[in-house]
Amino acid sequence: MFGMIRKFRKLIYILSFFIFIMLFLYWQNDTLQVTRYSLEYENIPDEFNGFRIVQISDMHGKTFGSKNSGLAKRIRKLRPDVLLVTGDMLSSTVNDGGAFIDFLDQFGNTCPVYMCLGNHEQIAKWLNDNGDIRVDYYDFINKVRERGVILLDNEKTTLTRGKSKIILAGLTLELYHYSRRDIEPYDENLSLTESYIDSVIGKKEDGFNIMLAHNPAYFKEYASWGADLVLSGHVHGGIIRIPFKGGLLSPERVFFPEYDAGLFELDDSKMIVNRGLGYSVINIRILNRPDVSFVEIIKR
């Protein structure tokens, strides 16, 4: 009798452990976290004081609710003035861009949406141009634009409030700019330079400049160019976050990347690295929930 009771208790403990693990993984991988930032600047125009930015990145086919209605609803509740999308909203060899299109349909005309390209969009485009159409990059981009998204592919635009404006730039890095810099020998010609940024989007303009750049590895170069605020993604928070240490692994298989997630500052420049919505090297997140960045800009 007592032996049966002990076996039953053991079974209950095992089942409880597995249920806990399943709930924990669901919480970590399928529930959204809003990461909030309040950033102060002296050079922000008065009319942009309190400007509310929401940033998303690296969707890779991930959905939250039917047709991404959960994600759209969560962002609408933040009442953003603008939604900024920092690339990899599809995967380069998997036809999963419909998740982002569904989100845009659900989000509607809540606020203006601007987007830069990530490395996966660029790879998909390169494959299309070379005859591989597993993912139709051009169809995806056309659908994105049809829904009112303004794509900044090495382009600038202005955001206006009253008589004031701020500059928004979308930087498209070449694929070789994603090469690993921790391997010897490394060719410095593969690194991003300030002169390259000048050549593709022009020099920094007077006023407050926001840059969308998918890869955060070049924060020093973005700051040197003159970006007041940089929004990046790409690293997926390091996939698994180690307490007191940070993100474990980047998409380039670099352990503990320098810019993994959160807010970084260099002189007068600030960079926010969004942890992304979908998956990277492996289809799992631990201590690294899908991320929606909410940024409020304050006049100092």
Residues 140 and 25 both lie in one domain: no
Give the C-alpha separation, 287 to 241, whole Å: 5
Give the C-alpha separation, 170 to 157, whole Å: 9
Instruction: Give the pLDDT score at 189.
Output: 76
Residues 191 and 258 both lie in one domain: yes
Residues 25 and 40 both lie in one domain: no
| 13 to 16, 155, 288: CA distances (angstroms) | 5, 58, 27
Q: What is the mean pLDDT of the chain?
A: 94
Give the C-alpha separation, 97 to 59, whole Å: 9
Residues 243 and 285 both lie in one domain: yes
Instruction: Give the pLDDT score at 280.
Output: 82
Report whether 267 contacts 294 (CB < 8 A). no
What's the rounded mean pLDDT across residues 107-128?
97
Residues 267 and 294 both lie in one domain: yes
Residues 18 and 42 both lie in one domain: no
pLDDT digits (tens, 9 = 90+) for 45-56: 999 999 999 999
Q: How confident is the model at residue 187 (pLDDT cuts 50, 70, 90)?
A: confident
Indicate whether 32 pLDDT > 80: yes
The one-letter code for the residue type at 217 is A
Indicate whether 186 pLDDT > 80: no
Residues 154 and 9 both lie in one domain: no
The one-letter code for the residue type at 202 is G
Report whether 61 contacts 90 (CB < 8 A). yes
pLDDT digits (tens, 9 = 90+) for 214-258: 999 999 999 999 999 999 999 999 999 999 999 999 998 889 999
Range of the domain at 25: 1-30
Count: domains in the chain: 2
- In this structure, the dihedral spanned by the alpha carbons of residues 85, 289, 275 and 107, taken in order and rounded to 10 degrees, is 0
Helix or strand (DSSP H, E) at 14: helix 2-30
Give the C-alpha separation, 48 to 50, whole Å: 6
CATH of the domain at 192: 3.60.21
Q: How confident is the model at residue 180 (pLDDT cuts 50, 70, 90)?
A: confident
Indicate whether 1 pLDDT > 70: no
| 108 to 116, 147, 187, 193, 291: CA distances (angstroms) | 19, 8, 45, 37, 21
Residues 173 and 269 both lie in one domain: yes
